[in-house]
Structures are given as C-alpha cells and as structure tokens.
Amino acid sequence: MKKIYAFVLMAAMAAGAMADDFVSDGTGNVYTFNSLSQIEGTGVTLQDDGSYLVSANFTIAEGDVLQLVNNDVIKMANGVQITVNGNADFAPADTAVVTRDAEGSNPKGFWMLGENGNAELKNVTFEYVGVVFGGENSSLHADNCTFTLHNGKSSSSGALSFNASCGNNIVENCYFIENSVNAIGNGSTNPVGIIIRNNVFWHNTTSNRNKPQINMSVGGAYDVIIADNQVIGGQFTMSGGIGLSNMMGMAHSGINIIENNYIADNRYGITTIGSVDAIIRNNTMINNCYETNPNNGGSCISIYDSSSSANVYIEGNWMEGGLWGITVPTGAPNINLGKVEDPEAEDYNPGNNTFVNNGNNGVLYDLFNNGTATIWAQGNTWNVTEQTEENIEEVIYHQVDDPSKGLVIFMPAKSPVTAVDEIKAAELTDGLYYDLMGVPTQNPTNGIYIHNGKKILVK
C-alpha cells in the first residue's frame, strides 16, 4: 500500500510540474521571445548579451503565434522543449539563431504539433536543436535555413522530422550539416506530402545509424518530390543518400519523384523499400560505396520490393563508383530502365542511364537482378568497351546466370559518346551543372560538367 501511495504522490508531483509550464491563452496573441521574457513563469529571460535564455518548457496554444524577430539569438537549456500548437512565424528579415545554452546541453527543441498550425521557417539557423512538425491541416515551409549538429533528442527521424501526416510541405534552399541523425524524415505510419528542393545535405547521420540522409515514408495521396539537391555523405558505413519506403504496405496514389540530385560518398545512393512507385531521373551518383559488406548494400540504386507491387521508372542517371550499379534484391517489382521499341507507347523510356566502374571483389556489376520479374533496360550505356550483347552480359546478373531469376532485356544498348558531348556556353540550358568534384553552378565556364546524367564539355 505504501508503494501505491508513493507512486500516486510522484505522479501528482509530475503533473504539478507540467501544470506549472507556461501555456498561452489562445486568444490570437503574437508572442516574441522579448515579450515572453516579460511574462512571469515562461522561463524566458533576456541576457546581458541581448540573447534570450529558455530554461523551462512552454506552450503556445492553438490560435496564437510564436514569432522570431530579426537578429534574435535563442539559447535553450538542457531538456527544454518549446511546443507550438498555433503558428510559428520564424521568418526574420535577415537572420536569427536558435542554439543550446552551454556545452553539453541537449535541448529537445521545437515541437510544432497544432492540427491547424502552420510554420514559416526562413533565414534561421537551428544549431543543436531540431524541429518536429505535424498536424492534419498544417503545413511547413522552410527556406534558406540551416539545421546543424542536431543532437537527436527531439527525434531520431531527422533534424527536421514529421510525426503526423500533412501535405503541402516545402523545404528549399536549406543546409543540413553534420546532424547526429538523418536530415529529414518521417514515421512509417504517417506519410507526408513534401517538396525537398535545392538543398545541401552534408555529412548527416554522424552517429552512423542505418538511415539515409533523406528518409521519407510514402503513402496515401501525398506526393514526395526530391529534386536538385546535393547529398554528400561523410563516407559513413551505415548512412545512405536518399530513401523512400512503404514499410506498412499502405495504399498510395501520390507521385514520388527523385530527380536532378547529386549524390556522393554515401553508403549507397538511392533506395526504395516496399510498395513504392517512383520516378528516378537524371541523378548523378558518384562513389556511394562505403558499405563494408557488399552483400548488405553499396548500390547506386536499390529497389527492394518483397510485395512485388512497386512500379519504378529509371531514366538518365549517371552511376559511377558504387559496389553495384542497380540491384533488385528480392521480389518482382515492375522496373522500366529503358524501353525504346515504340516511341509512341505509354511505357516508352529512352533509357540514357550510364554505368561507370560499379563493382566489388574484382567483378563489375552494372545490374544485378536477384528478383523474379523481367526488367526492360534498353537504351543504356553499360560499362563495357563495346556495347555488344556478349560484352553486356558480363556486367548483368539475371536469368541467363540463374534460371530462377528474372530476365533483363538490354538490347539495343546506347552507343557511348567518344569522349563527352561538346556544347558552347551560349547554348546551355537552365539547371545545375556539377563539376567533377560535385560543386554545382548555373553558369559553367570551360571544362567538363555533369548535367542531367550526362557528361558535357563546355567550351
């Protein structure tokens, strides 16, 4: 009986502590950190250096707004969580910084969970602090923000993570640098609609967990578009580049597109797991080979589908320096890697994928079909000196090698260019051009660049 009383007493004390946290009144007020510092019990205090110390949890109720003001510096203490059930107006004109209060502090960061609360994040640096977002009727827009050194305390799903299904989310022009967990992610049961565009992901998942830097679960009617990003790994043995998954086998009618990304130095480049319909187009993948055991990964592209229901269209990708080019570990997904026979057909695909030096243990593997479905793979340039059927068979594993596997239909192949396509600077089209070190530019000068999965010589 004494133990029961002790438990009840501790629960009451915990409830009392939570009840003491400041909660705004939800009457449509706009709160800044300066105004909060003038309200007793918020835990926000103005420091001598002009920064604001947040030493206790507080909540902004639905209907209210939390605002970051230009040049704000917010320092969060160990374990502190700021909950925003209303709107987050984090869009200072020039800059604001949210960081920890001292070395060794691990704040829980921002939890923006309002069902009708939107978040505008612009020109903000989040350092050691993450953002968790999610609400059925809410959306997030992050532009020109930096998420760095996230401690993983707010969520293991990402420095920016989504814990509820919601649509119309946009992350653009942002930097994700050396976060302990992956950069962006969501839970397997809560798909989101999101555009991830023109961002830089650099050396994330420093804890070397088995997650890609961009890790999105898909489902429902939500679209996921990942385009024009740089995804540069830290040569970690567990962390990959970009991943789309449907672990719960959810029905989905959305569009999933991965295109025009530069992906280098990860454990692997791109992977889809489960029933995922995807378009993988015009990506450049270089040296995504840091898996220590080739049997466990290291592919430029891997399509894992035990449900045999995925539809994946692959066109115009440059795949170089992986342990494998493209792998199909299991199942019978419908993969169209190139189907050139009828240009008027609905499933026409010119191919235009290029394989360069993908292999392990002294053997080249451009395409490894360990599944049971037929794969169309016409119109591609394989890693052989001459694009003949006999030569290409040497870099493809399929039904010819094991009758239980699916057939790969790869002829006709595409004749390789003798060196690189030449183009004059005045004839350049819009988009990013990557030099051979992976540095992007929209205005390339003389030299060799990769653009839309092709090497070009700008003169």
The residue-averaged pLDDT of 6-35 equals 68
Flag whether 78 is in a domain: yes
β partners of residue 109: 81
First-to-last C-alpha distance (Å) of the chain: 86
Q: Which of 252, 248, 256 is nearest to 214 (CA)?
A: 256
Flag whether 116 is in a domain: yes
Q: What is the pLDDT of residues 175-196, one digit of tens each?
A: 999 999 999 999 999 999 999 9
**Pick from 89, 122, 154: which residue ends a domain?**
154
Q: Would you state the pLDDT for residue 2?
A: 38
The residue-averaged pLDDT of 137-142 equals 96
Q: What is the pLDDT of residues 365-377, one digit of tens each?
A: 999 999 999 999 9
Q: Would you state the pLDDT for residue 448?
A: 73
Q: What is the pLDDT of residues 190-238, one digit of tens each?
A: 999 999 999 999 999 999 999 999 999 999 999 999 999 999 999 999 9
What global pTM score does this model have? 0.89
**Pick from 95, 124, 154: which residue ends a domain?**
154
Flag whether 4 is in a domain: no
Are residues 405 and 369 in contact, defined by beta-carbon separation less than 8 angstroms?
A: yes
The residue-averaged pLDDT of 314-326 equals 98
Q: Which of 195, 189, 137 is nearest to 166 (CA)?
A: 137
Q: What is the dihedral of CA 133, 135, 138, 141, to 10 degrees?
A: 10
The residue-averaged pLDDT of 120-147 equals 96
Flag whether 331 is in a domain: no
Q: Would you state the pLDDT for residue 421?
A: 58
Task: Report d(CA 405, CA 159) in Å as an integer.
Answer: 40
Flag whether 71 is in a domain: yes
Residue recorded with tokens 């060794």? 104
SS3 of the chain: the string is CHHHHHHHHHHHHHHHHHHHCEECCCCCCEEEHHHHHCCCCCCEEECCCCCEEECCCEEECCCCEEECCCCCEEEECCCCEEEECCEEEECCCCCEEEEECCCCCCCCEEEECCCCCCEEEECEEEECCCEEECCCCCCEEEECCEEECCCCCCCCCCCEEECCCCCCEEEECCEEECCCCCCEEECCCCCCCEEEECCEEECCCCCCCCCEEEEEECCECCCEEEECCEEECCCCCCCEEEEEEECCCCCECCCEEEECCEEECCCCCEEEEECCCEEEECCEEECCCCCCCHHHCCEEEEEEECCCCCEEEEECCEEECCCEEEEECCECCEEECCECCCCCCCCCECCCCEEECCEECCEECCEEECCCCCEECCCCECCCCCCCHHHHHCCEECCCCCCCCCCEECCCCCCCCCCCEEECHHHCCCCCEEECCCCEECCCCCEEEEECCEEEEEC
Average pLDDT of the residues of the chain: 90
> Which structural domain, as residue segments, surrounds residue 426?
421-458
Q: Would you state the pLDDT for residue 14?
A: 37
The residue-averaged pLDDT of 297-303 equals 97
Are residues 285 and 314 in contact, defined by beta-carbon separation less than 8 angstroms?
A: no
- Count of structural domains, the chain: 2
Are residues 257 and 290 in contact, defined by beta-carbon separation less than 8 angstroms?
A: no
**Pick from 90, 119, 154: which residue ends a domain?**
154
Flag whether 225 is in a domain: no
Q: Which of 87, 81, 88 is nearest to 106 (CA)?
A: 81
Task: Report d(CA 451, CA 431) in Å as an integer.
Answer: 8
Count of CB atoms within 10 A of residue 16's CB? 9
Flag whether 342 is in a domain: no
Are residues 251 and 221 in contact, defined by beta-carbon separation less than 8 angstroms?
A: no
